[in-house]
Structures are given as C-alpha cells and as structure tokens.
Structure 1
Amino acid sequence: MPTFNCPLCTRMYARMSQHLVVFHKVQNKDERKLLLALASGRTNIQGCLCPVPGCGKPTTRIDRHLKRHTELTISEKETAMWHCKRKLVIEKIAALRATNPEVPIVSTLDLSPDLDEADVPFEEEDDEEECSNPGCKTKIENLRLQISSLNSKVDTLTSALNELTQKYRRLKRRSESRGAGRLTKETRRLISSVESDPHTSTVQPSSTDLEPSTSQQTQIPEESFHGSALNKFVEDYRTNQLGPDPSPKHTDNVNAKIYRIKKFLTYMAKGKSGLSTLVFLNQTNRIHAWVTSLRHAQMKETTIEYYIQNVSHFISYLAETPPPSCRLSKTVLIGLKREMQTIKKSLKRKVAMHRTAVKTQKESRVLSKDTLLKCLSQAKQAIPTILNLLESDVATTALQWQFYGHMSAYLAALYGHRGGVFQNMLIKEVEEAKESESEHIFLINIMSHKTNQVFGPAQIALTREEYGWMERFLAIRKRLPGGKTAKFFFFTSTTNICKKLITYFREAWKSMGLPGNPSFTDIRTSIASHAKFTHSEDDRMKIAKFMCHDVQTADRFYVTNLSTKQAIEHRMLFEAALQGVDVSSAGVKRHRRKMERPRKRVKASEGDSGDTSGSPEKSPETNQGEEGLSETDDPGQSGEDSGTSSHDRSPVPSPTKTPVITPMRRKLRPRRISPTSIQMVKKIAQMKKVKNKVKRAILKRKAKK
C-alpha cells in the first residue's frame, strides 16, 4: 500500500485521510481534499508559470516544458514540479479560508510568514551584462554543455542506485535469518561496494528508505520484515490468497487484507523477540487490548469486523499449516481460533446497530419516483443532442464526458445496476447484442461484474432507439482519444476502465437540474426500496435477480424502513384487527376423538396348558370392560341402563397391570406365532400326510402284483 508524507506533520502514513481526520482534526471536506492532493501530488497545474529563473513561461504541461531545461537534474525538476503544486494548493486553501466556511480551516499553510521564500525552488540570479567577446560566448556554451552532460550522468547514476537498492531489498526479504550465510555475505559485499563508491556517495538512501513504512509509528522489529520466517509465512499466505490468476480488484482486496494482518502482528509483537516462533500470539489479554485500540482509533464497527475476520482467517490458516519454526501447540492454536470466534460473536450486536444507523441515514438520500422518471426523460432528450455535436467537427473530450454521464444516468435510473457494470461493459459485448424478433429489444450481457459467480452476466435490455445511441457513439469512437485501441465502451485515452464515471454521472445529474448529489448506490437503493413497497413478492424477486443482488442483501443494506405514510397504513391494520365480534377460541369445549387403546398381551401362567402359540389374548368384551366409560360417554345415557342409577350397575373391572419384562425374561418368553403362520403349518402337515398315504397305497399295489 503506498505511503505519503503528511503535509502538516511531514510523517509517513498509508491512510492519509484517516490520519488527517483523527490526528489533525481536519473536518472540512474541501480542505481535506486539497491536503490529500498535495500529499499524493495529484494536482492539476495547467497554466502554471515555469519556476526556473529567467524563464517564467506559462504552459499547460509544465512537466514537458521542464524537460527542455537540460541544465537541471531530475531531482531539481521534480522539486520544481512539487513547488508549483504546493503553491497552487496553498492558494486554494487561502481562497477557501476567505469564504469563511461553516467548518473551520485547521491547516495554517497559507498563514506561514515565510511562504514566499518556501515556494521559490531556485534562487534568482543577478542580471549581468553578457560579454560581447566571441571567445567568452563560446566558453559559456561549452560550460553549459558540460553541465548538461554531468546532469545526465548524475541521473544515470541515480537510476542505477535506485535499481540496486530495489535488488538489495528483494535479496534481503528472500534471505532467511538463519542458514542464508552465503547470500547474506554477497548482499553485504554488494552494498558495501556501492557505499564505498565515490561517484554514488552523493546520493544515498536513508535508513528509513530501506525499511518498509506503515501507517503507525510503532513498527515490527527489523528481523520480522527482512528475511525472517514470519515474513515468509505472511508472503506465503498472500500467494495462497491471490491464486493463480488474480484480477486487479482481487489483488487490491488481498493487499488490504495483508495490511490489516500486519497491523495485528505489529501490535502483538511490540517489545517481543524471537518472532519466528509465533509465541507472541499466545496473549489473550493483548488481543483484547488490540480490539480496544481499534475503537480508540475511531474506526467504525464494520471496519473492526473486517480486521477481526481477516485475522481470524489468518489464524485458521496458521493452525492448519503452521510453519516449521512455529512453537505453538495445537491446543494453543485451537484456543486462538476460539478466541477470535468469540470476538466476532461479541461484535454482532454493535455491527447490526451501526448498519441500522447507516440505513437510517440512507433514507434521506432515497430518490423519489418522480426524480427517477425526470432523470429518464431529460437524459433521453439530451443524449441525441450530445451525439449530434460529437458527430460534427466540434467533437471534444468534454462532450464525450457529457455523453458518458447522461448515458450512465439513464441506464442506472432504468435498471439500478452498480457502477462497475457500466465500467466493465465491453465494446464487443455491445456489438454482440442480439435483437429479439418479436419485441425488437437488444439484450446486452456483461460478463465482468461483482456478483457474476452467483447471478451470471448482468443484463441490459434496450429498445431500438436506445441501442441506436450506442451504435452512433461506436461509429465515431475512433476520432476520440484512445478510441482506436479501446476495449471498454466507456473508454478513456488509456486502455483502462473509466474510473471517473461517477464524476461524469454527477455532473450530468447536476446539469439536468435534479436534486441531491447521488451515487450509483443511492439509485440502486431507491429502486430496491420502491420495488419492495410497490410490486408483489414474485415481481420483486424478478427485479432483484435482474439487478444482480439477493433480496436478503437488499433488506440488509439497500431497502429502507417504512415511511410515515406506510407506518400509518400498518397502524390501521392493527386497529382493524381489534374491531368486530370476538371470535377467540377461549372457553370453547373441544371434543376429543375417541381413541382405541391397544389390546395388551399378558404372559401365560404356569398352570395353562402347553400352548406354544403364545399367550392368550383377551376378548373384545374384556377389553371393553377394562376401558370403562370413554371421555365423551354420559353416565345417564348408556342404552338399557339409562333408567337405573349408578349404584345398580355391575362394577367395572379395573385394568390388569402389565407385568414388567426384563431383557432376561424377554429371552425366555415363548415364541409368538401369528394365526396365519399356524394355518400354513397345518396345511403343510396335512399335505405331507396325504402324500405319505399315496406312497403307501402305491407300495401295497406293487406288492400284490
């Protein structure tokens, strides 16, 4: 992750925006943008005057102009560029302070008394009269040529030193803290030879340049970053996460994950030695303190959740494939995994509350249906006009950006796709769109987007008129910068995607006179909310699938809560539920259906005859007597006995208690044979008797003969 020098405290930080807000309390957004532009160097200095003494030429490309000054070295040219950008940013800060904004300006760069002196990169030379002697002029020209050649040599040596420094860093990272003696000796010999070279002694990297910088002042000891087993293990984890063919987005996500893991290791390893053993991770109290430090850094709950998820995944990877130098037992690793799971569980409530608060804030940014319809109608009128201007001789990049803004606004208000869908839309995909013969609709399938693994390609259905806009733009794209080699529909002068598409969208939104300053996500949220409260559940599922997002995800992040009008309608439903006759089931006698009790088998007594067919069963009359009266029978209405009193009836026999059968008794019980089996046995025995009689009769007849 790149690091920059803070323009206020001149320290190196990776999260510069967070540092300005948390440490310097820069709350003004415009001021923070200017300071971030000054730190990163991304400042537009078109029309700036050349800072070289004696030149002062106004130019739109100061970088190209400075190349003509061969008397300057590369470092001097970079210094001149930096001073031009710094002067422009300070002027903008002074102009912002003059407007007296509601959020006060914190920085004092424009109030410094030695501002003019600091912004002069070169000292003014005294104007001297040139000598009219031709020999002097020739000597001056020769000296200038020598200076130019010396500057080119300095630049060559500086570039060679930078390459050598990079090689040194790579060698030192690859080398192990143990067992890499030959490689270490060669590296040290190479560095010592470079440091002893008198030609390169003027430009040497500082000790801070040779060490990786982080956004915190406390860093992991040097041995953990340069060639240690811990650093090698982290790099192996990075390789495992990247996979064989990572996309640029996936690479950025993995780099962010490694950054968070290194922040965790930095905190845990502070003041410890022998980091390759990973024993410093076995500190539960310090893990809890690390979570507390994230909150003290004023991180949001969702950001803390990302940190903990990344660290938890890293510890799981460590538990499954520990390095050879690891001295943590399996019990300790399981305990660390359990601890991270507990921390994640403790964050669920706070994360849910934070998401609810963010969801409530989104309600103010939800666009009404009238606004979205107005966007569609005005964009539909503006796009043909812009295309007419692009097809004429006055085609400029400004018109190209206007077309991008209006076209993306029209498609976003129509389908609610993410901005990445429009950015990744290829020219090939637009040209391969097929027209439906019945509906005359062109369907564009965009393969590369965020949720293509779940929902497949993102689709955009266009009418003949809408698809004609795209065809007209593709017909003139070769006249625009980068159009000949363009791959994406919304292309730029380079071959990359249009990263400023959201800027062009907001400019078009503002030019149409629509309220607010929404993003593609705000439009997506609005469409998902309107679909929930307007359409049926089946239609809402269709819209969600076409937008390439899950309904549960929409309810969790996109769809807003009920409005005041909708809440009143729900209240009326509650009030209507309390009106009318009380039809509650309380006090109503429920009749139970009469259930027959299963007949119970009783073990045969010892005095019974030797019946091997099983214990005798009670007759239905006996069972009926055992059951007695059912729950629904009335004692006063029982057939012939209805006129008699209850004491005249015969006593009802009590049910026989079922004997307890132990496992041993169950083995000794006689085998029970069903009546069907008994009949079959009798038939077989009878057939055998008949067969024997037939055989005897045949034998008798043979004997008589």
Structure 2
Amino acid sequence: MVSQCFSLFQPRVCPICKGTFANLPSHLRRQHHVVNAAEFRLILRLASARLKDSLACPLCEKIFSRLDMHLASRHKLSGSDLEVVLSSAKRECILDKLAKLRHSQPTPPMASMLDILRVKVQPEHRSETVLVSQSMPTNMDPNGSPEPHSEPEILSTIMPALSAPKTPRLEPPTPHSSLAGSSRENLPRTPTEFPSPIINRVLQDFYEFSLPSNPSNKDMENAQQRCSHALRFLQHMAAGFSDQQLKNLKFLEDFLRLRQWPADLAHKEYAPTSIKVMLLNASAFVNHFKAFHLEISGLSSNKLERILLQLRRLSRDNTRAVLSHRQRAKRKKSDSLRTSTELQSFIRKAERNLPRVMDDIRTKPTSKLYRIAQGYVAGYLAVLTGHRPIVFCNITKADLLEAEKDPLGRTLVWVARHKTDRAFGNAHLALLPKEADWLRDLAEISSLYGGEQCPYVFQWNGKQVQKLNRMLRAAWQVAGMTGDIAFSLIRTSIAIEAKKHLSYSDRLLVCNSMCHDISTAERFYTEVPNLSEVFHIRDLRTRALNTSAETLDASSEPESSSTESSCSPDNQ
C-alpha cells in the first residue's frame, strides 16, 4: 500500500501547501480533498521522490532507465549536483503525468493544481550552453569535426538554473521596509494553491475557461500563466487573513492593499510589462468570478465592478513605465541586432552546408546533426520570410502534401496555427524547389529520431519542437557566425530594413506577410533613434527655426522703410 511508505516517524513535505506532516496521506485526503486514486499516488511519489519510470535527462534530453548512472558517467556529476538534476527530472516526469491525467478528465476530478501552476526551468537557458557549447561548438578541428567543450563549463551555467525552486513564488506581500535588499531569487518558497478549496475550484474553472476548444501546447502554457497570475493576486490580497476568512472574495475589498500590488511587484524586480500582464489577468479572473460564480463570491456585482475599476486604473497608471521599459529594451536590443550582411552570409552558408548535413544524417544519424539541420532550415526561412518561430514549429507533414505548386516547381505552404492567426489567418511560405525539398527531407529523416507518428516537421523525440531558438543558435555558431542570434532579432532587422528602404505600401505588404501590422512593428520591432539620427532631427528643427526667422525679418523690412519715408521732412 502506498501510504505504508510514509512512516509516522518520517515527516514529509506536502507538495501542495509546503507544510511538513507525519501522516501525509491523511493530510492530503482531509485538508486538500484528494480523492482521485491516480492523483493521490502521484502526489505521494512527488513527496517521496520515488519513481521507477524512465526519465529524460535535463542536460541532453535523452530518455534513460537509469538516469543516475547516465549523469555520473556521461556528465560526470556526483554528490549534491547529481541529486539536484535527478530530483528535477523526477519532478518534471510526475508533473507531466499529472497533466496527462487532467487532460483525460478523470472521475472523480482532480483536487490539486500542481501541473497547472508549475514553473519550469526555461529550456532556452539550458540550451544556450548545453546544446550549443557541448553539442555544436564553434571550435573545429582540421577534419571539420567539432571539439567538445569541457563539462565543468557547461555545468557552471546549468546547475544554478536546475537548483532554482520549481514552484511559483506566490509569497504573501510584506511591507516595503522588510523587503529591503531582497529579490525574487532570495524570497522563500510558498504554497502553490490558495487556502480556500472553493476558490481553488474557481481557479481550475478559470484555467479551463481560458483554453480554446482545441488547445495547443502554447494555449495551455498561456492558460497556466493566467491562472498563476490570478493566484499571485489572491495571495497578495489574502495576506493577514485567516483561512476561515478566505472562503469568499470579501478580502478583495481592501483597496489600500490592492493599490500596493504593482509597487510590491516592482519591488520584487518584475518588469513593467509583466506587471501589466498580471493586472490584466487579475481583472480577467475577477470578471470570471463575477460572470460565473457571483453567488459564492460574497460580494455584490457593484462591489466587484469597483474592484475591476481599480485594477483598470492601476493598469493605466502603469502605462508610462511600460513605454519607458519598451524603449530601454529596444535600445538594448539594437546592440545585438544582426546586420543584413551577416544575415545574407548565414543563408549562403546554410544553402551550401545543408545538403552535406542531410547526407551525413542519412549515413550516420546523430542528434547533433539533426539539431544543426533544423537550425539551418528554420534560420534560412526566417531570414527570407520574417516569420515567428511558432510558424515553423507548426508546419505539419500534411501541410507539405497539400502545398500549392506551379510548373516552375515553386511551392506555397499554408500554416494554419500561429500567434496571430485570428487577425491574419494562415501564414504562408513561398518556397523555391530546393527550399521545399529541405522541408521534405526534414519530414523524411524525422523517422530516424522517433518522429514516425509525429505530425510536425520540426520535432524532437516524437514531440513538436517548442523552443526552436536552440537549434537556430546551434546552426548559427556552427556556420562560424559571431554574436547572439534569435528569431526576434531577425524579425527586428527585417522590420528596420523595410522601414528604411521600402515605400509605405510595400512595407505594408511585408508586414502583412510577417503576420503583424505596421503599428506592431513600430511598437516592438523598429529601433529607437540613435545619436546621429537624433542630431539630424535637431539640425532639421534648427533649420526650420532659422528659415522662419529669416522670413519674418524679410517681411518686416518693407514696413519699416515705408514708416521712415512717411515720417521724413520732405513728405511733411
């Protein structure tokens, strides 16, 4: 029996509320009302860290039945470092099982929200070091094969990320004086659920309401973020209240505490844009409560409307900080932008190297070559089309079969799902014959990497690629290019060049093909004026001032001369 693993003399930490209990199974049933047997077993496994399943290595993303032996032999980990990576892999495996259980709509329903509110270590932080430095380094020997970097260099970057807390930081707010000198990294770990089971059920309903009818992985991530932000808001407002007082929303009537929330978030080093999103999601949650659960809120519709009015006011007050933050981000991004010469050099190298990489994969398939091939194809198409990476991630094998072709062999591929599909419809890729062949080759060789049943062209271990930037950075460095690269930097470079060198009508066509409008390009992708441009504008203003002054002086001279002539003695 599972509960026999938990001795009365061996207290365990509850994964839900972070409390320590001698009889954790009883606590889960009585306090958190966990009645689903499968969920109950998984939460106990999460608490005991006992799991016999095969695990994915967080460092190289391969599946192993004995991950501990792989980490010790391949990555040279031992002691506490090995325990950190191993516990991270176990936790992610169990949370994935909880997510699959939730999507199966079990009966009785699940009581916890651990899988919804989890915060993963972002893969791109790991991939920048592991996938680029370890698997595709820029150092090449005379035979053309890369020389791997040392393992300590990789672990110096990966270990801090893996040792970070896996749960959202949803701590109750404290006065500013007590938070002096603190940061989000130094704050203690706090519960991942609200103390009230009723409000937890509303949070679950809010998550399900935020999902579309046919959700993608990105849709589920967005819904999780909305639910997490709503929980942050509730945790802030509930500080100082007992569990008995948190059965309804009456604690939200503290408008003084409500007005302090943006300041508390800013003090915890959240960016103004993140604060804006949190305020919007908190408003969405209150609106959801008002529309569907008004009878259990404990507040009237008018009182909830006043709370919404206050949240909208805080969002407006945050607008100035958001604009200033965006300009700072643009100035910082301008230092990392790649020039058109660099982008042209990359697509020439991709065009030259891709056939050889594809042949090497068919001869001796390795994960390194597969990453490089996907990075080359995605980077090449991004430079030519300016699309977001989600467009390439969502290209399916069926899209290639249904693509339009002309007698010259040119191909038009339509992609249905992407970020702005509601506003711009399907994204399109205009491909020459060789470019269409590259996509078909990727779809063909995916069977060598577990992608026989995966419908997507860009896949990894049979699953759709979610973070394509890692492949792009790998191909960029193997091609011998310097500096950092990302799809957002490519899109920004394209938007800037279109603004400088194209007419308004042509620029509008380019923006529409990139699935955004000109206002979006101005807000996110065009650079702020540099020093020479600002002084050029200053010279224009000075020229206009001087021209106006000269015009006024010229018009006043005839009047003064006529006045002098009328006052002369001869005329008198």
SS at the partner of 1:306? helix
The one-letter code of the counterpart of 1:537 is: Y
Percent identity of the aligned residues?
25
The answer to whether 1:468 aligns with 2:437 is: yes
**Counterpart position of 2:419:** 450
SS at match of 1:513: coil
Shift in alpha-carbon separation, 1:222–1:345, aligned structure 2, 3 A = closer
- Which residue of structure 1 aligns with residue 454 of structure 2? 486
Q: Does 1:427 pair with 2:397?
A: yes
Contact 2:238 2:251 in 1 (8 A): yes
1:547 corresponds, among 507, 514, 517, to 514
Whose Rg is larger? Answer: 1
Residues 265-303 of structure 1: CA deviation (Å, up to 9, x unaligned): 122223233323321111111212333322222211111
1:532 counterpart residue number: 499
In the TM superposition, residue 351 of structure 1 has moved relative to its aligned partner by 1.1
Query: Letter of the aligned partner of 2:511 in structure 1?
Result: A
Which letter maps to 1:488?
Y
Structure 2 residue 328 is the aligned partner of structure 1 residue 357: yes
Mapped pair 1:414 → 2:384: yes
Give secondary structure in 2 for the equivalent of 1:325. helix
Deviations 1:630-659 (A, max 9, x none): xxxxxxxxxxxxxxxxxxxxxxxxxxxxxx
Instruction: Label 1:224 to 1:45 Cα distance change in 2 as closer, same or farther (>3 A).
Output: closer
SS at 1:485's partner residue? coil
Distance in 1 separating the partners of 2:192 and 2:371: 49
TM-score by length of 2: 0.64
- CA separation of 1:476/1:352 partners in 2, compared to 1, >3 Å: closer, same or farther? closer
Cα displacement (A) at 1:222: 9.1
> Post-superposition shift, 1:557?
1.0
Matched position secondary structure for 2:380: helix
Count of aligned positions:
418
Distance of aligned partners of 1:11 and 1:558 in 2 relative to their CA distance in 1, 3 Å threshold: farther
Letter in 2 for 1:285: L
Deviation, structure 1 residue 510: 0.8
Counterparts of 2:112 and 2:14, CA distance in 1: 21
Aligned residue among 336, 343, 361 for 2:307 = 336
**Could you list the per-position Cα deviations for residues 169-197 of structure 1 after superposition, in whole angstroms to 9, with x for gaps in the alignment?**
957679xxxxxxxxxxxxxxxxxxxxxxx
Q: Which residue identity is paired with 1:520? A: F
**Structure 1, residues 230-272: CA drift from partner, whole Å, max 9, x if none?**
3333333333222443332212211111111112212222323
> Contact conserved, 1:375 with 1:413, CA < 8 A, in 2?
no
Gapped regions of structure 1 (runs ≥ 5): 1-9, 15-39, 47-59, 67-77, 92-108, 122-158, 175-211, 589-705
Question: Secondary structure of 1:245's partner?
Answer: coil
The 8 Å contact of residues 390 and 399 in structure 1, kept in 2 or not, is answered as: yes
CA contact (8 A) 1:481 1:493 kept: yes
- The alpha-carbon distance between structure 1 residues 318 and 578, as it changes in their structure 2 partners (threshold 3 A), is same
Query: What is the CA distance between 1:12 and its match in structure 2?
Result: 9.3
| Contact kept? 1:12, 1:213, Cα under 8 Å | no
> Any conservation in 1 of the 2:289–2:297 contact (CA below 8 Å)?
no
Match in the other structure for 2:484: 517
Which 10-residue stretch deviates more, 357-366 or 281-290?
281-290
Within 5 Å, which residues of 2 pair with 1:589-668?
Answer: none
Kindly tell me: are residues 540 and 172 of structure 1, through their superposed partners in 2, closer, same or farther at Cα, counting changes over 3 Å? Answer: closer
TM-score by length of structure 1 reads 0.53
CA 1:302 to 1:90, structure 2 compared with 1: closer, same or farther past 3 Å? farther
- Out of 247, 258, 265, the residue aligned to residue 276 of structure 1 is 247
Q: Is 1:264 aligned to 2:233, yes or no?
A: yes
Whether contact under 8 Å (2:394, 2:418) holds in the other structure is: yes
The residue identity in structure 1 corresponding to 2:449 is P
Instruction: Give the conservation status (yes or no) of the 8 Å contact 2:496–2:525.
Output: yes
Seen in structure 2, the aligned counterparts of structure 1 residues 81 and 243 have a Cα distance that, compared at 3 Å, is same
Aligned to 2:140: none
Contact 1:441 1:462 in 2 (8 A): yes
| CA offset digits 1:373-427 (Å, max 9, x no partner) | 1112111111122233334x33434322221111112111112211111111112
Counterpart amino acid of 1:502? N
Alpha-carbon distance between aligned partners in 2 of 1:262 and 1:276, rounded to the nearest angstrom: 14
1:503 is aligned to 470
* Contact 1:12–1:215 under 8 Å retained in 2: no
In angstroms, what is the RMSD of aligned CA positions? 4.0
Partner SS state of residue 366, structure 1? coil
Other structure's SS at 2:429 match: strand
Q: Distance in 2 between matches of 1:395 and 1:244?
A: 38
Contact 1:45–1:88 at 8 Å: present in 2 too? Answer: no
Query: Displacement of 1:346 after TM fit?
Result: 1.0
For 1:223 and 1:416, how far apart are their aligned partners in 2? 43
CA contact (8 A) 2:171 2:236 kept: no
* Structure 1: distance between partners of 2:456 and 2:110: 39
1 CA distance for matches of 2:423 and 2:194? 44
Q: CA deviation at 1:578?
A: 5.3
The answer on 1:215 being equivalent to 2:169 is: yes
> Structure 1: how far apart are the matches of 2:74 and 2:364?
35
Change (3 A) 1:585 1:516: same
Of structures 1 and 2, the one with the larger relative CO (CA 8 A, separation 6+) is 2
CA distance in 2, matches of 1:353, 1:477: 45
- Within 5 Å, give how 1:118-517 maps onto structure 2: 215-216=169-170, 224-226=195-197, 228=198, 230-270=199-239, 271-272=241-242, 273-391=244-362, 393-437=363-407, 441-474=410-443, 476-478=445-447, 480-494=448-462, 496-517=463-484
Inter-partner Cα distance in structure 2 for 1:312 and 1:222? 19
CA–CA separation in structure 1 for the residues paired with 2:459 and 2:437:
18
- Rounded Cα–Cα distance in structure 1 between residues aligned with 2:427 and 2:246: 48
Q: Secondary structure at the match of 2:294?
A: coil
Amino acid at match of 1:428: A
Q: Distance in 2 between matches of 1:505 and 1:486?
A: 21
CA distance 1:352–1:467, change in 2 (3 Å): same
2:120 is aligned to: none
- 1:349 Cα deviation (Å)? 0.7
Residues of 2 paired with 1:367 and 1:231: CA distance? 47
Judge conservation of contact 1:408–1:505 (CA < 8 Å) in 2. yes
With over 3 angstroms needed to count, the CA separation of the structure-2 counterparts of 1:289 and 1:546, relative to structure 1, is same
* Deviation (angstroms), 1:90: 6.0
Task: Return the alpha-carbon distance in structure 2 between the equivalents of residues 327 and 550 of structure 1.
Answer: 44
